[in-house]
Structure 1
Amino acid sequence: MSAQLLLVDDEPGLREAVKDYLQESGFTVQVASNAQEGWELLQQTTPDLVISDIMMPQVDGYQFLKQMRDDPRFQTLPVVFLTAKGMTTDRIQGYQAGVDAYLPKPFDPDELIAIVENLIARRTATHSGELGETPDIADLANQIAQIKALLTQRQGITTTPAPIKIDLTPREQSVLNLVTEGLMNKEIARRLQTSVRNVEKYVSRLFSKTGTNSRTELVRFALEHGLTK
């Protein structure tokens, strides 16, 4: 399957020209004429990469990027800025906001293709690297949302959970408590001052000890059997 791209630009001529070139290069492209439309498309499906203009009405590219980076689902989603704002200060602002690449207009379409291919290749390599297969970020965000829903439901229940004895190490217990709070591995690693790889190892052990297969199942099991402290 070809990589899925989202192109956001308020200039119809440029938008269609870039879309056509990307499609001719083998990519599947969705287009939006402004950041609001782009955000709505992101809610429907997560692309492999976003290409966005900066100078757009109402919500500009910097605000659109911040909106993405503030959402756990899109924190690692590659973003390329296409813009007429070519000053060094503009590029610095883009990189500080979390953009992955910055291509001032007018640009060579072949350079854009090279940037897109490179970013997607790097993202794929990261997801399948030495840490093993990484869960899809949208799926993980959905699990976190389900966990928070479980916690909300639990707050209205006064019955005592059925206790069960499972031998957990102090670090496994700490990781379980933070998973139950709805934190992702990166946040847990930061909280416990350890590596993401170690957190993944502890989460895997928790799955094994509780007979669960996902974070949602793990949290539900922990709440039902009083494993959190």
Structure 2
Amino acid sequence: MVIILVVEDDAKLNQIVCAYLNDSGYEAKGCLNANDAYDLMYNSLYDLIISDIMMLKIDDFEFAGTVRQINKTIPILCGHEQDRDGFIDLPHGAGKL
């Protein structure tokens, strides 16, 4: 079974996302902040992280950097409520672009 860590500081939205994922056949564990996510990651293995871009006290870019120190391979999906059409992941260095 795919185990997903949901990091969302809005408690109601966190609960809704976890319930939806659990009902869809995944095992979802929710937490409300980055520090709780780090603690969970040290104690359990996750297949995927779904994270809010703007959390209290930290943004997703800083969060993702710390996650990479804990687990270099886990996929991280970022969600947001901003008025944007999407994001692309740019490679590091102009030569790779």
TM band (smaller chain): 0.7 to 0.9
Higher relative contact order (CA 8 A, sep 6+): 2
User: Equivalents in 2 of 1:86, 1:62: separation in Å?
Assistant: 18
Q: Which of these two proteins has the greater Rg computed from alpha carbons? A: 1
Which one of the candidate residues 63, 85, 97 is aligned to 2:82?
85
Q: Secondary structure at the match of 1:91?
A: coil
**What is the TM-score normalised by the length of structure 2?**
0.83
User: Equivalents in 2 of 1:67, 1:50: separation in Å?
Assistant: 13
Q: Secondary structure at the match of 2:54?
A: coil
CA drift at 1:30? 1.0
User: Equivalents in 1 of 2:66, 2:39: separation in Å?
Assistant: 12
Contact 1:7/1:30 (8 A) holds in 2: yes
Runs of 4 or more above 6 Å deviation: none
What is the correspondence of 1:10-159 to structure 2 with a 5 Å cutoff?
A: 10-69=9-68, 71=69, 73-87=70-84, 91-92=87-88, 95-96=89-90
Between structures 1 and 2, the one with greater helix share: 1
Instruction: Give ranges in structure 1 of 5+ residues lacking alignment.
Output: 98-229
Instruction: Give ranges in structure 2 of 5+ residues lacking alignment.
Output: 92-97
1:65-85 alpha-carbon deviations (Å, 9 max, x no partner): 01112x2x5111111111113
User: Equivalents in 2 of 1:33, 1:4: separation in Å?
Assistant: 17
Q: In the comparison of the two structures, how many residue pairs are matched?
A: 92
**What is the TM-score normalised by the length of structure 1?**
0.37
